[in-house]
A and B are shown apart, each in its own frame.
Chain A
Amino acid sequence: MRNWTRRRFGATALAAALLAGGPALAAGTQPYAGMTLNLASMNDPFATVLVKLAPEFQAATGITVKVDVLSYPELLTKVTADFIGNTKGYDLVTTDNVWSGQFAEAGHTVVLDDWIKRDSAELQLDDIYPVVMSSLGNYHGKQVAFPFAGYANVLATRKDLYAAAGLEAPATMEAMIADARKLTDKAKNVYGWVANGQKGPAVAQDWMQYNAQLGGSILGPDGKPAINTPANVASLVVYKKLFDETAPPGAVDYDWGGREESFRQGLVANMQTWSVGASAYDNPDQSKVAGKVAIVLAPPGEHAAKNYGVGGWGLGINADIDADHQAAAWEFIKWIASPAVQKKMAELGGGGVIRKSTTHDPDLLKKYPFMTVIDISFTNGNGEYRPRIPQYPQIQDILGSAVNAVLAGGADPQAALDEAQKKAMKLF
């Protein structure tokens, strides 16, 4: 009886499997079934969503995707070691937009151009924001990673503090600075503004963003460092003043975690941040300011171009793996970047956006009203303010030391940027 039940159950399961996926298998539409892809993922919110969605991809294609979730420095170190050692540990790699240069120059990831051309209709390229396509994985015209999680630089403001002071959300950087000064009340432990101040990538990345909004640029028209230009020095003076007059006292030592925590703790009125974290501010489990936050466009300087910072992640394919694994990896990229899966990623809290159909989706707009801000930001986006060049890690380090020396060490902005320029030029 027991054997009979087991046999009957087995037959039923086989029949169900054939009904569900059998025809596709029989028709040979799962050429990579049984294959396993190892994906190295940054531990951003999309990582847990990738883990959740992997079984769906497996059901559709027969390809297993194992997601290895890593911190930022760990991810870069591990994948670079994998590329250099030709150990083929990872098939797919989440690629920060600033890594494109070094990956492309070294030939670490597959150039996707031919596949993109072949599958352009399936990819619905018109639906992907051009700035996302160019910023997240393109280097000198070659696509070395395909975008799957784009972030917009936005301004998170405290509606309640603005309303109490009778102010409107700022439309320009100058207005935001003025508002930040008005809203700072050190006696009440309320501060008008916060940004990263900690030495290293934290302060370098935040200052580069403000610098771009205030009309500065790290590279000159010739592609060489132009760090000590008058515009950059002026923006660093403003950044220093903002820290001194409007930021929480400990902000000179804040990295992203400290900055976000100070906002969620209700200490500050304004914070520029990546759109990926926007949904968390209204979650009372994580935030003391739930229901009091508005996400608005990051204000550009009055005399600067009205464009908005774009960042995020693409997916690159390890150039060392065999052709079949590369083709299977491309299938995964197409799947994860498809409109339906992008919508599902957003619904699950992935936080990244690459498609116009995602920002215009009625369901998502209802859940995340700030999608319109992302749409405007991407339509007028700037993904070039952090240079995607092989020397980027060193330039970021040089800037991270120089800006922190001004904020915490009392260094003169002009002298600090002169020194940074001298060091940066040695890299070229």
Chain B
Amino acid sequence: MRSTVPGPEAIGGRLARRPIAPPGRALTWLWRPRGFAERRLAFLALIALPALLYVLLVAVWPIAQGVYYSFFDYNLLRPAARSFAGLDNYRAIWEDETNRRAVLNTLVFTAAAVGLELLFGLALALLLWPDGRFNRVATALMLVPITITPLAVGLLFRALLNADFGLIGYWARVAGISGPHGFLGDPASALGALVLIDAWEWTPLMALILLAGLKTLPQELIEAAEVDGATYLQRLRLVALPMMLPSIFLALVLRGMDAFRVFDIVFATTKGGPNDATTVLMIQAVKQGLEFFDIGAAAAIANLMIVAIAVMALVFTRLIRHADQKVAAG
């Protein structure tokens, strides 16, 4: 049966006969669109222009400036003494022991926090999978930690974990669970404590993303596996988890990018100490930029972080696409 809806060619033909007004008289001397395709392109470019300008202004331009300044010895307190420094600011990241430790701590923190959140998040999502009033209420309550600003979370845990009069810290020290200086005062436990604080706040988000993934699974497949005699663990391992991979990778990339630029809870609790145990890249970048006003050094650290996050995003995006294709292929 022939469709009565006109095809794109037909629309194009009609529109071609009624030319679209040029985007602006001033622009016509630069480029006068000819034909439908060019006029269409001009129209689309025109409506996308505000968003494009916005992105250029607030994202691309500052990043470009950041890349530019990272090659300069540029301190805002001595702006006149700006000089080209080549790769010195990048070299300084690797030559400085504290910066090297910050790179390592950032990687360890990101891997540990996101890994833990995935584990707990998946467990929570599986618990909340069956639909019911209790689970709906529990899901809503579970989201409370996400609503608290990370700086407040840091201050809250700083008070709770105080080894001398904190509600948790005092008893943990007395019971010998923490070291003599408390969880945050001991270099061996401080980063671990920060990982747990981060997991407390962000596991619910992970659980929510994974729960959304679980809810979209075709129920008939799970039921078919059940009829075939698959145990709960087998259904989970062989049916649910492979189909959930896109959701898992999405959760990992979102949390991974966020955890990599952790700042608030470190700033509010340990300021990077004790010793260099919790110094992370963002603490170093803020210190260079907003305490010493050394824009060149701060920009170099920030650029390193952008590259790391971009690589992370690229890898996970490909993994998500690959997993999506596998799921679609059945």
Task: Determine the chain A residues whose CB is within 8 A of the CB of B235 once the complex forms.
Answer: none
Q: A390-B77, A408-B187 are in contact. Are A401 and B165 (CB under 8 A)?
A: no
Asked if B220 CB lies within 8 Å of chain A CBs, one says: no
Number of A-B residue pairs having CB atoms within 8 Å of each other in the complex: 101
Interface centre among A105, A200, A253, A255, by most chain B C-beta atoms within 10 angstroms, is: A253
Q: A267-B165, A401-B98 are in contact. Are A250 and B185 (CB under 8 A)?
A: yes
Asked if A22 CB lies within 8 Å of chain B CBs, one says: no
B290 touching A77 by the CB < 8 A rule? yes
Out of A105, A249, A393, name the residue touching B173 (CB < 8 Å).
Answer: A249
For B155, give the chain A residue with the smallest CB separation: A257
For B294, give the chain A residue with the smallest CB separation: A394
Task: Determine the chain A residues whose CB is within 8 A of the CB of B89 once the complex forms.
Answer: none
Asked if B272 CB lies within 8 Å of chain A CBs, one says: yes
A249 touching B77 by the CB < 8 A rule? no
A75–chain B nearest beta-carbon distance, Å: 11
A169-194: contact bitstring with B at CB < 8 Å (1 yes, 0 no)? 00000000000000000000100000
B275-306: contact bitstring with A at CB < 8 Å (1 yes, 0 no)? 11100000000010011110000000000000
Asked if B242 CB lies within 8 Å of chain A CBs, one says: no
B182 touching A250 by the CB < 8 A rule? yes
For A191, give the chain B residue with the smallest CB separation: B164
Chain A residues 223 to 276 lying within 8 A of chain B, measured CB to CB, are: 248-253, 255, 258, 261-262, 265, 267
B181 touching A252 by the CB < 8 A rule? yes
Task: Determine the chain B residues whose CB is within 8 A of the CB of A250 once the complex forms.
Answer: 162-164, 166, 169, 173, 181-182, 185
Instruction: State A88–B9 Cα separation when bound (angstroms).
Output: 59
B165 touching A249 by the CB < 8 A rule? no
Out of A251, A390, A394, A411, name the residue touching B275 (CB < 8 Å).
Answer: A411
Asked if B180 CB lies within 8 Å of chain A CBs, one says: yes
A261 touching B182 by the CB < 8 A rule? no
Task: Determine the chain A residues whose CB is within 8 A of the CB of B274 once the complex forms.
Answer: 199, 252-253, 404, 407-409
A84 touching B187 by the CB < 8 A rule? no
B271 touching A248 by the CB < 8 A rule? no
A176–chain B nearest beta-carbon distance, Å: 21
A199-235: contact bitstring with B at CB < 8 Å (1 yes, 0 no)? 1101000000000000000000000000000000000
B98 touching A80 by the CB < 8 A rule? no
Instruction: State A277–B169 Cα separation when bound (angstroms).
Output: 26
A377–chain B nearest beta-carbon distance, Å: 29
Q: A262-B165, A390-B77 are in contact. Are A252 and B291 (CB under 8 A)?
A: no
Asked if B93 CB lies within 8 Å of chain A CBs, one says: no
B interface SS class: loop
A200 touching B273 by the CB < 8 A rule? yes
Out of B162, B169, B186, B293, name the residue touching A80 (CB < 8 Å).
Answer: B293
A198 touching B270 by the CB < 8 A rule? yes
For A268, give the chain B residue with the smallest CB separation: B164
Task: Determine the chain A residues whose CB is within 8 A of the CB of B164 once the complex forms.
Answer: 189, 248-251, 262, 265, 267
A161–chain B nearest beta-carbon distance, Å: 17
A13–chain B nearest beta-carbon distance, Å: 46
Instruction: State A411–B291 Cα separation when bound (angstroms).
Output: 25
B76 touching A80 by the CB < 8 A rule? yes
A271-286: contact bitstring with B at CB < 8 Å (1 yes, 0 no)? 0000000000000000
Asked if B132 CB lies within 8 Å of chain A CBs, one says: no
What is the size, in residues, of chain A's interface with B at 8 Å between Cβ atoms?
37
Instruction: State A264–B165 Cα separation when bound (angstroms).
Output: 11
For B271, give the chain A residue with the smallest CB separation: A200
Chain B residues 68 to 87 lying within 8 A of chain A, measured CB to CB, are: 76-79
A249 touching B180 by the CB < 8 A rule? yes
Asked if A28 CB lies within 8 Å of chain B CBs, one says: no
A356–chain B nearest beta-carbon distance, Å: 35
For B289, give the chain A residue with the smallest CB separation: A77
A361–chain B nearest beta-carbon distance, Å: 37
Asked if B125 CB lies within 8 Å of chain A CBs, one says: no
Asked if A48 CB lies within 8 Å of chain B CBs, one says: no
Asked if B184 CB lies within 8 Å of chain A CBs, one says: yes
Instruction: State A125–B74 Cα separation when bound (angstroms).
Output: 40
A333–chain B nearest beta-carbon distance, Å: 24
Task: Determine the chain A residues whose CB is within 8 A of the CB of B173 once the complex forms.
Answer: 249-250
B179-206: contact bitstring with A at CB < 8 Å (1 yes, 0 no)? 0111011110000000000000000000
A199 touching B271 by the CB < 8 A rule? yes
Task: Determine the chain B residues whose CB is within 8 A of the CB of A404 once the complex forms.
Answer: 273-275
B98–chain A nearest beta-carbon distance, Å: 7
Task: Determine the chain B residues whose CB is within 8 A of the CB of A405 once the complex forms.
Answer: 275-276
Interface centre among A73, A250, A401, by most chain B C-beta atoms within 10 angstroms, is: A250
B53–chain A nearest beta-carbon distance, Å: 23
Q: A80-B76, A258-B162, A262-B164 are in contact. Are A253 and B290 (CB under 8 A)?
A: no
Out of A197, A261, A409, name the residue touching B187 (CB < 8 Å).
Answer: A409
Other contacts beyond A84-B76, A250-B181: 12, CB < 8 A: A84-B79, A199-B273, A249-B180, A253-B185, A253-B270, A261-B165, A265-B164, A267-B164, A408-B273, A408-B274, A408-B275, A409-B275
Could you list which residues of chain B lie within 8 angstroms of chain A, going by C-beta atoms? 76-79, 98, 162-166, 169, 173, 180-182, 184-187, 270-277, 287, 290-293
10 contacts between A and B (CB under 8 A): A76-B291, A199-B271, A249-B163, A250-B169, A250-B173, A250-B185, A253-B163, A397-B287, A404-B275, A405-B276
